[in-house]
Amino acid sequence: MTVPTPDARPHPLFTEEGSAEVVVDAFADTPDPRLRRVLTSLVEHLHAFTKDVGLTQVELDAAIDFLTRTGHACTDVRQEFQLLSDVLGLSMLVDALDHRSGTASATESTVLGPFHMVDSPPRALGDSIALAPGGEPTMVTGEVVGPEGEPLAGAVVDIWQADEKGFYDVQRPDDVPERNLRGLFTCDAHGRFHFRTILPAPYPIPDDGPVGQLLSATNRHPYRPAHIHVIAGAEGYRPLTTHVFVEGSPYLDSDAVFGVKESLVLPFDESRDADLAAEHGMPVPFRHAHLHIVLGR
């Protein structure tokens, strides 16, 4: 085994008062300047937090156990660390920081969520993404435009949502067809798209793991308001990850992952327009929502 050569420069010894400085000094030779900056700030804030709350060994052990169990709860269709980031508001904060220099007129973004675990299947405009029976028939129309209102022909819109019981397909693989309530649509020459679906229901994020235990311990509920996920993109424009929330849904003011923004709450009105229903192959009555998506450059 090769023994590393000791550093030529002296390193300070660990003390309670200078703990952060000692650890930061150990990272001083990190070649990547961004990594060095992130680690330095992390250590400084972590040590300040530990001293501020007087963290005990028992509490540290509990925290390490919690994170270990969080890792063990992750599967190919469940990301417990993503859930943890979401319920701590970290995901929304990073999203806000990442988009604060975006185009002012662009549609607001929000979190990706933990259920974009599989690729959405390409579907033709007008197709139904509801492959299982049940739910309230819903038609979604929309267009994707640029910041000056220019239609974005060929823009791609990725859609996924929960069903009328509040479940995603990956949560009920034995009960619903694969890729149920998912679809990848290519806009027409005018940047327009439309598809058929069902009205999504509010649902709890998975709360049978460590994150659910955290919510329970803090008297927080695990519910999200009803919504449809959207990722929209077009060449030369900034991709957008967002939600469309159902107006009037419970939990709009207490989303477990803090994802609601006022501009993203849209009416899903009941329609009895027989001509529109016939045009799109919908029963009467049906719900109808229209999405106006603006991408920044």
Q: Is residue 31 part of a domain?
A: yes
**pLDDT tens column, 129-159:** 999 999 999 999 999 999 999 999 999 999 9
Q: Is residue 1 part of a domain?
A: no
**In this structure, are 37 and 105 located in the same domain?**
no
Total domains, the chain: 2
The residue type at 47:
H
**In this structure, are 171 and 228 located in the same domain?**
yes
Q: Please state the φ and ψ torsions of residue 217, each to the nearest 5 degrees.
A: -65, -20
**In this structure, are 50 and 110 located in the same domain?**
no
**In this structure, are 120 and 188 located in the same domain?**
yes
In angstroms, the CA 150 to CA 45 distance is 45
**In this structure, are 250 and 141 located in the same domain?**
yes
Q: Is residue 76 part of a domain?
A: no
pLDDT for 38: 98
Domain of 42 in residue numbering reads as 12-55
Q: Is residue 75 part of a domain?
A: no
Rounded to an integer, what is the distance from CA 258 to the centroid of its chain? 10
In angstroms, the CA 227 to CA 245 distance is 4
**In this structure, are 106 and 51 located in the same domain?**
no
**In this structure, are 119 and 195 located in the same domain?**
yes
pLDDT for 103: 67
Half-sphere exposure of 168 (CA within 13 A, CB side): 22
**In this structure, are 102 and 206 located in the same domain?**
yes
What's the chain's average pLDDT? 94
**pLDDT tens column, 224-242:** 999 999 999 999 999 999 9
H/E run at residue 62: helix 57-72
**pLDDT tens column, 90-125:** 999 999 998 876 667 899 999 998 788 788 999 999
CATH number, domain containing residue 176: 2.60.130.10
State the pTM of this model.
0.90
**In this structure, are 137 and 198 located in the same domain?**
yes
Q: Is residue 72 part of a domain?
A: no
Location of structure tokens 């106006």: 292
In angstroms, the CA 19 to CA 150 distance is 56
Q: Is residue 260 part of a domain?
A: yes
CA geometry: angle 175, 213, 230, nearest 5 deg: 50
Q: Is residue 146 part of a domain?
A: yes
**In this structure, are 50 and 128 located in the same domain?**
no
pLDDT for 151: 98
Going by C-alpha positions, the residue among 166, 249, 248 that lies closest to residue 207 is 166
Buried-exposed string 92-105: b where 16+ CB fall within 10 A, e elsewhere: beebeeebeebbee
**In this structure, are 48 and 121 located in the same domain?**
no
Say whether pLDDT at 11 is over 90.
Answer: no
Q: Is residue 7 part of a domain?
A: no
Segment among 10-14, 268-272, 280-284 with least mean pLDDT = 10-14
- Decide: 243 and 229 in contact? Cβ < 8 Å: yes
**In this structure, are 104 and 51 located in the same domain?**
no
